[in-house]
Amino acid sequence: MRTAFITGPAALRERMVAKAQVDLSVPESSMPPYMESFLAHLRVLIGVPFDYMVPDSRLLPDESIRFFYLDRSWTDRLVDGAVAVGKSGTREQAHHQAQAPNLQSQLDLTERTIRNIQTGKQLPTNSGPAGIITGFLLRSATVVGWPSMDVRAFSQIVPPSPGNVNDPGAAEWAANATAVQLPTLRLERLSPSVLLALFDGIPQLVWCEEPHHGIQFGVTNSGEAGIFYLDRHEASGELEPGSQSVQVPVRAANHRVIAIQQLRNQLNALHDPNLVPQTGSAALAIEMLQLPWRQRFQGAGSDRHPGSGGFVAKYSVARVIANPTLQQTVRELF
Amino acid sequence: MTAPPPKGQMYLFNSATPPLDDGSYRLTCSTAITGPINPPAFTKQNYFDIVGPRFSVPQSMVAGTFPPTNSHGAFQDSLPHIVLSRRTLPWERKLDPEGKIPPPAHNPGDAPVPTDPVPWVALLLFEEGEYTWYPNIPLDNVVPADVFSRLGSPASIQCDAVEAPLPLVQSILPSLEELQLLAHVRWVNVDDRELNTAGGDGYFSVVVSNRLPSPSAQCRAVLVSLEERSDLVQSNPPPVASQGPPIFEHPVSRPQAARISAGESFIAPGSTVFTLSQAPAHRFPPRGPIVIGFPPVQKVRLVALYSWKFTCEGPGTFRDLMQSLDDAMFGNVQNPGHPPLSDTGHLQISLDDRQGAVEQVWYRGPLVPWQLTRDNLGPYHSADQARRVTPETGAEDVSYAAAFELGRLLAASDPRLAQALMTWRRESYKQAARVDTISAVSARIPLNLPATLAEKLHCPIPPVASVSVTSAVIESGPIIADAHGLGKVVGAAGLNAANLASAWQISSAQAQNLLGADPGSLGAPVTAPPETTRGDTTLGTVAADTAGLTRLSAARTQAVKNAAVTLENS
C-alpha cells in the first residue's frame, strides 16, 4: 500500500512552523491599541486577584513589608491565557505561534509606559528587552493613615543625609539620587491597607516618605502640662541652627488650645532675620510644620533588608506667598 | 508659575480663591451700538447658580486627615488637620458677607494683618463627652433662626451637626484672624505617588485645628461650617494664659528680685520692663441662699461638614509604624512551617481534578524571593501545556497553568478585548493571505517588488505583474509557437537525414537526396516580408476600395470553410 503523502500530525507541524505570517512591522498586523494596553496591564498584575499573588494570608501578616522579584514566566502565561480567548483552531494557534516573539518584545516596551499613561506623564524613552521587575507589598496602618506616601527605589544606596538645601552639595546629591532612581512601574493600593509597588530593576534602597501634603503641624511638649515650645524654622523650612525655641501661647480658657494670633505676633516680635516675615497662613505654616519621616529599606539583595530610617533632615519648603500667577492659574482652571 | 515643585519640595500659598464665590448670579447682557442707525438697545437677563459643597463635604474631596481616621497613636503634640483635594474649597463662601463682625484690633508691633479672604470652615476638635453628635437632622434645627434666614432659608436640607456647650465652643473656636491663619494651600510633587483620583494635580488645601488632643483621650475632629455664624465667631481671640515663669535675659540682683515678687515694677538694666501684678485674693462670696443644681448651660450647634474620630494613645506615628514593620523577602513567615512553603517558594494547596478527586498540588504566585529565568518555551496554547510534575513528590505544579487560566478568564470577561483579538487576527490573516499570493505569483513570474515586507504588502500586484509579463514577452526573443507543426514533421524519424543515413548505412548526402530536399530547407527560420509602407488611409478610402473588400470577403469565406473542414475531420 502506498504511504500517505502527508500525515495529519506532520501537516499540523508544517503549518505551525511555516512562517506564512506577517510580523508586527506591518501596521495592519500589529496589535489593536486596546489589546496592547490590556496585555501590558496584565504584565504588571493589574486585575490579578490578591489571592493569586498572596495565596496564604500568613505570607503577608499585619504590619509587614515583603520584597519580591516578579516571575516573568508567570506573567507571560497570564498573557498567553488572555490571547487564548477565541483561539478555536490551528489557524489561530499558528498565528499566535508566529506572532508570539513580536508580541512579547512589544509588550516589554509597553509595560513600562503604563504608569506614565496613568499619571499623564511623558512616555519613557528606554527600550530593549524587559529587565528584572521587583517590588514590594506593604500591609500596614500607614497605608490607610498616610495615603499617597512617596515611594522611591534606587539602584544604588543613596547617602541618607542630603545636607542643607541651599548648600552647593545638595543639588549634586539630588541629581545623583535622580540618576540612580529606578522607574516605578506600578504603585497602587490594592486594598485600603495594602500597597503594591513594582520597580524596573533591582533596588538597593527603597524609601517610603511621609506624604508632603500630610505633614503635620506640631509643637514640642516641655513635659510640663500646658507648656509647649516651637522650633524656629527658616524660610526654606529648615531649623534655624542654634536658635532658641519659642514658647507657644495658649488660651486661658483651655490650655490645649493654641492662641494662634498671639503666637504669630510673638514670632513677628522676635525680629529674627532668618525667619519668614509673617504675612499670612503660609508663613505661619512654615514655622509650625514638623519634619516628615523617611523610612529607608536597604540591603544587598540578601533575604533580609535591614530597615533603618531617618527624618528628612532638610525637607524643603519653597515659599510662594501672594503670587499673582497662582491666582491666574486658578482663574484659568475655573 | 506653571512648573510643579521639584521632588522633595513643596510650595505653600496663603489661599486660593475661586473667581466667583458660590451663590446665585444674574447675568445681564445688553447691546450698545452707536452708528448711523441707532438700533434699539437690547437687554437679556439670565440666572445661574454656582453650587459647591455647603452642608457636607463628600469623602471624595478629602485627600487625607491627620490623625488618620479611627487611628490610635501619640498625637498629643500635633495639631489635627484635614487635607482637601479641592484647593479653593475653604474660600468658596463668605463667612460674614454683611460684615457683622468688627475687624480685629491691631496693636502696634503686631504682625501685619493677613489680607487673604477668611475661610468659611474651621476644624474643631472635641474630646469624648464634650459634644453631642446629631447625624442627619434638618438644617433649621441646627442654626438659629436669624442665621437660617441669612443662609437663604434653604428648604429640606438634612445635615450632620455637632452640639457643645457655648463656653467650650467659645474657648476653642478660632477668631476671625486665626481662621485666616489656619488654612493654606500646598502644592506638592506627585511623581512618586500611588494613583489617586484626588489631588492629581498636586494642589491641596489644608485646614488645621488650633487644639492639641489630650493624651489618652478619644477625640472627634469636626470640619464645621461657619457661614453666617457671626453670632459665634469673635473678631478678637479670648485672653491668653500667662506664660509660666518669665525668663530673665539679664542678671537680676536679689533685692530687685525681692521687689519683683512684691508686685512692684522697676526698670532693669537694658530697659526691659517687667510688670507683675499680684493675683487678687480669693474671697468667698457673701453667704446667700444655696442654689441646688446647676444653671442650664447654653448649647450651640454647628453644621458638621465632615468628621472623623481618633484615639490619642500608644505609639502610632508614621515613624513608629514604619520602624516596627516586619520586613523580609516574600516567603518569609513569622512562624516557620505556617504555612508550609517548600524551599522553592511553592505552597501546597488542594485541588479538585477532572475526575472530581481531591489532589494535593503545588502553587506559587508571581511574587518570588529570587530572580528567576524567564521561560522561553512559550507561547503556550492551553493551560495543560503549562502543567508540570515535580519529580520529588510526584505532585503537580499548577502555578503557570493557574496563571494561564486566570489570564483567559480576565480576558474573557472583557468583551472589548475579545473584539480587539478578533480584529488583530482578522487583519493578520488578510495580510498572511496576501503574503501567500505574492509568493505564489513570484514563483512563476519574476516580480519587481520592494524589499521590505511591509512595502511589498502595500504594493498593488496586478499592474506590477502585467508589467513583468509584458517585459518578459518583449525581451525573450525565441519563437514561442510553431504555427504549422513543422517542428513535429522535422522530428519524425523517417524525415531525419541523419537517422536515415545510420539506419540504411548510406552516406548522409545520399540520405539528403533521398529525402529530395536541400539541406537546411526544413526548420529554417522564416523571415517575415518587410512591411509595405502606406500612406494614411481614411475610412472613406477603405470603403471605396471595392476590390480590396472583395478579396477580404473571399478570404473570410475561405477561412470559415477551412474551419468547417477541420471540425469535420477532427
As a whole number of angstroms, the distance between CA B358 and CA B350 comes to 6
pLDDT at B528 over 70: no
Domain boundary residue, one of A248, A264, A288: A288
CA distance A44 to A191: 17
Is A46 within the bounds of a domain? yes
CA distances from B462 to B198, B456, B465, B469 (A): 59, 13, 5, 10
Does A279 contact B112 at a Cβ distance shorter than 8 Å?
yes
Question: Domain total for chain A?
Answer: 2
Phi, psi angle pair for B403, to nearest 5° = -65, -40
Q: Which of A266-275, B160-169, B177-186, B384-393 has the lowest average pLDDT?
A: A266-275
Q: Is residue A313 part of a domain?
A: no
Residue length of chain B: 570
DSSP-derived secondary structure for B125-145: EEETTS-EEEEEEEGGGTS-H
Q: What is the pLDDT of residue A124?
A: 65
- Give the mean pLDDT of A285-290: 77
Residue of A260, A293, A295 best to disrupt the B interface, most CBs of B under 10 A: A260
Sorting pLDDT into bands at 50, 70 and 90, what band is B123?
A: very high
Q: What is the mean pLDDT of residues A129-144?
A: 85
Q: How far apart are CA A187 and CA A196, in angstroms?
A: 6
Q: pLDDT tier at B252 (50, 70, 90 boundaries)?
A: very low
- By C-alpha distance, the chain A residue nearest B374 is A73
- Between strands B326-329 and A64-70, the pairing is parallel
pLDDT score at A17: 58
* Contact assignment for B78 to A26 by CB distance below 8 Å: no
B556 in contact with A, Cβ within 8 Å: no
- Candidates A86, A74, A76, A41; CA nearest to B412 is A86
pLDDT at B304: 92
Q: Please name the residues between 182 and 241 in chain B that touch chain A, using a CB distance below 8 Å.
A: 182-196, 199-200, 204, 206, 208, 210-214, 237-241
User: What is the rounded distance in angstroms from the CA atom of residue B327 to the CA atom of residue A11?
Assistant: 55
The residue written with cell numbers 489557524 in the block is A91
The DSSP secondary-structure symbol of B90 reads G
Of the residues A34, A42, A65, A73, the best mutation for testing chain B's interface (the one with the most B CB atoms within 10 Å of its CB) is A73
Q: Closest approach of chain B CAs to the CA of A143, in angstroms?
A: 10
The reported pLDDT for the residue numbered B406 is 94
In a domain, A245, yes or no: yes
Per the model's pLDDT, the better-predicted residue between A319 and B554 turns out to be B554
Interface with chain B: mutation pick from A14, A24, A28, A50, highest number of B CBs within 10 Å: A28
Question: CB of A22 within 8 A of CB of B457?
Answer: yes
What is the pLDDT averaged over residues A277-304? 71
Domain boundaries, position A254: 220-288
The residue among A123, A148, A183 that closes a domain is A123
pLDDT band per the 50, 70, 90 thresholds, residue A52: very high
Put simply, the answer to whether A118 touches B316 (Cβ < 8 Å) is no
The structural domains of chain B, with segments of one domain joined by +, span 1-101+116-236+297-319, 417-475
Predicted confidence band of residue B520 (pLDDT cuts 50, 70, 90) = low
A33-49 pLDDT per residue, tens: 899 999 999 999 999 99
Sign of the four-CA dihedral A38, A43, A47, A52: positive
Q: Best interface-test mutation with B: which of A56, A77, A229 has the largest number of B CBs within 10 A?
A: A77
pLDDT at residue B405 tops 90 = yes
Buried b or exposed e, range A177-189, using 16+ CB within 10 angstroms: beebbbebbbbbb
Distance between CA atoms of A230 and B166, rounded to whole angstroms? 30
Which pLDDT score is estimated for B354?
84
Cis amide linkage into residue B167, ω under 30° from 0: no
Least CB–CB distance from A96: residue in B185, B242, B381: B381
Instruction: Search chain B and give the residue with CA nearest A22.
Output: B432
**A190 class by beta-carbon count within 10 Å (0-12 exposed, 13-18 middle, 19+ buried):** middle
Gap from A4 CA to chain B (nearest CA, Å): 25
Asked whether residue B563 carries a pLDDT value surpassing 60, the answer given is yes
Q: Which of A54, A184, A260 sits opposite B181 (nearest CB)?
A: A260
As given in the structure block, the three cell numbers for residue B90 are 475653604
Report the greatest alpha carbon distance in chain A.
Answer: 113
Q: Which residue from A220, A259, A264 is facing B77, i.e. has the nearest CB?
A: A220
* Top-confidence residue, B185 or B320: B185
CB atoms within 10 A of CB B316: 21
Query: B154-168, B269-283, B356-370, B383-397 — which is least confidently predicted?
Result: B269-283
- C-alpha grid cell, residue B318: 508614621
Highest mean pLDDT among A191-205, B518-532, B553-567: A191-205
Share of chain B above pLDDT 70, in %: 82
Within 10 Å of residue B45's Cβ, how many Cβ atoms? 9
- Using the Cβ of B108 and the Cβ atoms of chain A, whether some distance falls under 8 Å is answered with no
Interface of B with A in 421-480 (CB under 8 A): 421-425, 427-432, 435-436, 452-454, 457
Helix (H) or strand (E) holding B27: strand B23-30
Nearest Cα residue to A156 out of A201, A200, A199, A203? A203
Question: Does pLDDT of B407 surpass 90?
Answer: yes
Q: Is residue A67 part of a domain?
A: no
Q: What is the DSSP letter of A257?
A: B
Supply the mean pLDDT for chain B.
Answer: 78
Confidence of residue A294 (pLDDT cuts 50, 70, 90): confident
pLDDT beyond 80 at B63: yes
User: Which of chain A's residues have a Cβ under 8 Å away from the Cβ of B431?
Assistant: 22, 26, 28-29
Domain C-terminal end among A106, A123, A140: A123
Please write the tens of the pLDDT for every residue from A218-238.
Answer: 777 766 666 777 777 776 666
Q: What number of helices (H) and strands (E) belong to chain A?
A: 11, 13
Q: Where are the alpha helices (DSSP H) in B342-447?
A: 399-412, 415-444
Work out the minimum CA distance from B142 to partner chain A, whole angstroms.
25
- C-alpha–C-alpha distance, residues B298 and B64, integer Å: 34
- What are B48's strand-pairing partners? B25
Each residue's pLDDT tens digit, A176-233: 888 888 888 888 889 888 999 999 888 888 888 877 666 777 777 766 666 777 777 7
Of A225-229, A313-317, B367-371, the poorest mean pLDDT is in A313-317
- Let me know: does A261 contact B105? Beta carbons within 8 Å: no
Q: Looking at residue A206, what is its pLDDT?
A: 85
pLDDT at A327 over 60: no
pLDDT of residue A2: 63
Q: Of the candidates B445, B451, B481, which has an alpha carbon nearest to the alpha carbon of residue B466?
A: B445
ipTM surpassing 0.85: no
d(CA A66, CA A70): 12
Q: How many CB atoms lie within 10 A of CB B522?
A: 15
3-state SS assignment for residue B467 = helix
B chain contacts of residue A202, beta-carbon cutoff 8 Å: 371
